[in-house]
A and B are shown apart, each in its own frame.
Chain A
């Protein structure tokens, strides 16, 4: 089975995968929700992480009736929460190992 984890998608590919028009993706990029490589929309390259983040942004925008600025804030906070949860779980495990529980 052919697998890819370093795919590079153009703006057109990304629109196609998300089923949303280019101007919405341009807005998502303008707010820094995802940061594609390349200097202009014609040369943008999105990876699979960005695609997944953009999908998440799209779901939040639609389901929670948010504007894109709010989506950007929510995603930042969710990302921070996930990072802290992971770090907390790791430190917790390490503490238990050090205490010999």
Chain B
């Protein structure tokens, strides 16, 4: 494993005092905290910062780390010296192999993303796992189970084991919407000892669709129409999530007009939302001399001034 330079993670000098370390941690935690940050790689950055703070804010751990720093430096391969005995009281679950090789395995019951009480280490409930589940709009209409792959940390008596990779078939509850939370009981981390497994929480995220926009359970679709279709009315074919339909456009329709098509939106628990067709009048490019003549004749006879409310 690579040696980790905790001082550089926090951007402090090796002789920095506790107050400086605390300030540096707080500043970086605000910047990279995964619940707050919009930075790329925020989660990994935050883990590094939290791990560095865990060590450097604790006098005993810092002394042990400083001692080991003599053996390695950043970017170098690192092995603890033979016979190294860490204090073994880490009590954290999400830290790196490097951390565990020095301070011992954290068992479980971490302070990071595990949310475990530390009541009983010999037998305790597994961790709850939160996973984002991106869905295409079409997926929300299907009753078929959807495959979901996720991985979760795993701990044994000796500390952290390789992550468990799991694949489940998830049947989505009808009417699932963007931002919804779904619980799958017992599909989280394995329990410790006789403890129950944790739960799996899915956070539903609808993937933007190339044609349809989503508001709640309603969809909207922008429909390009020719000027004469808007003027004279037309019957046009529209795509929906479940197939094609015919839409009647009334004569004299306006640009931006919204037409409601009932029940063609996303599924709700008991029915379905609506689809809104938004008309966008599109001019043909170029045109023949004959077309130009016809437009001119329309201009001469229509008597229409769209800017008559401007007093210019």
A residues neighboring B (CB under 8 Å): 1-7, 16-20, 48-49, 51-52, 55-56, 58-60, 62-65, 74, 78, 89-90, 93-94, 97-98, 100
Contact = CB atoms under 8 A, between A and B. Distances in A.
The A interface is mostly helix, strand or loop, or mixed, namely helix
B201 A48 contact: yes
A20 B36 contact: no
A48 B29 contact: no
Given A17-B199, A52-B201, A94-B222, A63 B29 contact: yes
26 contacts: A1-B170, A3-B184, A4-B173, A4-B183, A5-B176, A7-B183, A16-B125, A17-B128, A19-B116, A20-B115, A51-B201, A63-B29, A64-B29, A64-B30, A64-B36, A65-B26, A65-B29, A78-B35, A78-B36, A89-B208, A93-B208, A93-B213, A97-B278, A98-B222, A100-B224, A100-B282
A94 B220 contact: yes
Nearest to A56: B35
A62 B54 CA distance: 13
A90 B213 contact: yes
B106 to A, nearest CB: 15
A51 B282 CA distance: 48
Contact of A59 (B113, B183, B278): B113
A27 to B, nearest CB: 17
Interface in B163-214: 168-173, 176, 180-185, 187, 199, 201-203, 208, 213-214
A48 to B, nearest CB: 4
A5 B183 contact: yes
B36 A48 contact: no
Contacts of A100: 224, 280, 282
Contacts of B222: 94, 97-98
Nearest to A77: B36
A64 B173 contact: no
Nearest to B146: A1
B33 interface: yes
A52 B278 CA distance: 36
Nearest to B53: A63
